[in-house]
Chains A and B, each alone.
Chain A
Amino acid sequence: MNRSSVIILVLAGLFALQVIIAARRRRTHEWHTILWLMVSVVTAALAIWRPAIDEIASAMGIYYPPSALFLACLSGLLWLVYRLSLEVADQRRAIRRLVQEVAILNARAPSANSVHDDAVPARAS
């Protein structure tokens, strides 16, 4: 095993450790923990089995093997960013709903300045 493989293995190990520490503190969701641990495992596997990149590139018809690695990384990152944008949209919707509910529950009526949903006088009735 050459020096670069050892460096990548150490980095993959440190990254996996950080992922586990964050998960232990409940800072990441289980699905994200699994995803990032898989990234560590795949990185470590490629560091140990270096000809794999050549074989994968050859199978994909890519002449320059590192390009296959870049393609895989970029595709993975694009997918991840897309998934995160969906999650941001979901959270935005949830926050909006929460803000609306709080606003309605704290409706203030002119007569009593009450901060109570049911206490809002229906002036129109």
Chain B
Amino acid sequence: MNRPLLTLLAHNEAASIAGVVQELRAQVPHAEVLVVDDGSTDDTGAVALRAGAVVVRHLVNLGVAGGESTALMYAQRHGHDCVIRMDGDGQHDPGCVQDLLNALSAGADLVVGSRFLGEAGFRSTGVRRVGIALLSGLLTRLCGARVTDPTSGFRGFSPRAVELFSTTYPHDYPEPESVLMAYRRGLRVCEVPVRMRPRRFGKSSLTPLRSALYMAKVFTALSLELLRPRSP
């Protein structure tokens, strides 16, 4: 992979974004770092720019799916041959980026960084663990392959995946649905173990109520995806 694009999705992450950008630039010096500032009301964009990232700023908040597809559109227009997407809060360890790039080089189209593979399995909250286990079981059955971390936002995209997901993209929180989409369209999907770090600043936007609504939305989205033709 000659021109990887490392994308950080950020919404009001001014406190953490500079550190993550600098870590990424140090870990993968030949890559371009892009920060998608998803309508932040703080200085996320300016701080990321000073830290050495290219910044695209949404005028209004579009959510995770909007941010990810903006990054894929940017990659397509600027000739990047693969994209790694991470969260801007610093929880995704930049030290694992190379593992995702290696998997893409080995021929995978969609690489999911799994928090539950490897030696130190990630421990989420109880409600989320149940949700992830349910989704994981469902996706494993639907895809016919083991899916251990269907909600991971630490992911890599090959040119084929960039082309697919820059034009056809799920709404809101896209991760589980996009895994199923990739399988059904014949893309090669694989998981690699990644490390998660504790969030240093701010707090997660997912409350228990939002988690429950998220689960309902995802199950509906997965059911609908099964009704669509396999080819885009």
**CB distance B80 to A124 under 8 Å?**
yes
Query: If the complex has contacts A99-B62, A99-B66, A125-B3, are A120 and B57 also in contact, measured as CB distance less than 8 A?
Result: no
Bound Cα distance A109, B53 (Å): 7
**Interface size in chain B (residues, C-beta < 8 A):** 31
Complex contacts, A108 vs chain B, CB 8 Å: 45, 49, 54-57
- State the A residues within 8 Å of B (CB): 95-96, 99-100, 102-104, 106-110, 113, 117, 120, 122-125
Complex contacts, A124 vs chain B, CB 8 Å: 2-5, 30-32, 80
How does the 8 Å CB contact mask read for B44-56 relative to A, with 1 for contact and 0 for none?
Answer: 0100011111111
Work out how many contacts link A and B, with CB atoms closer than 8 A.
64
Q: Chain A at the B interface: mostly helix, strand, loop or mixed?
A: loop
B188 contacts A by Cβ under 8 Å: no
**CB distance A96 to B66 under 8 Å?**
yes
- State the B residues within 8 Å of A (CB): 2-5, 30-32, 36, 45, 49-60, 62, 66, 69-70, 73-74, 77-80
Query: Looking across the interface, which residue of chain A has its beta carbon closest to that of B56?
Result: A103
**CB distance A107 to B3 under 8 Å?**
no
A104 to chain B minimum Cβ distance, whole angstroms, is 5
Complex contacts, B51 vs chain A, CB 8 Å: 110
B142 to chain A minimum Cβ distance, whole angstroms, is 25
Complex contacts, A100 vs chain B, CB 8 Å: 58, 62, 66, 69-70, 73
Complex contacts, A95 vs chain B, CB 8 Å: 60
The answer, among A96, A102, A107, A125, for a CB contact under 8 Å with B55, is A107
Query: If the complex has contacts A107-B54, A108-B45, are A120 and B78 also in contact, measured as CB distance less than 8 A?
Result: yes
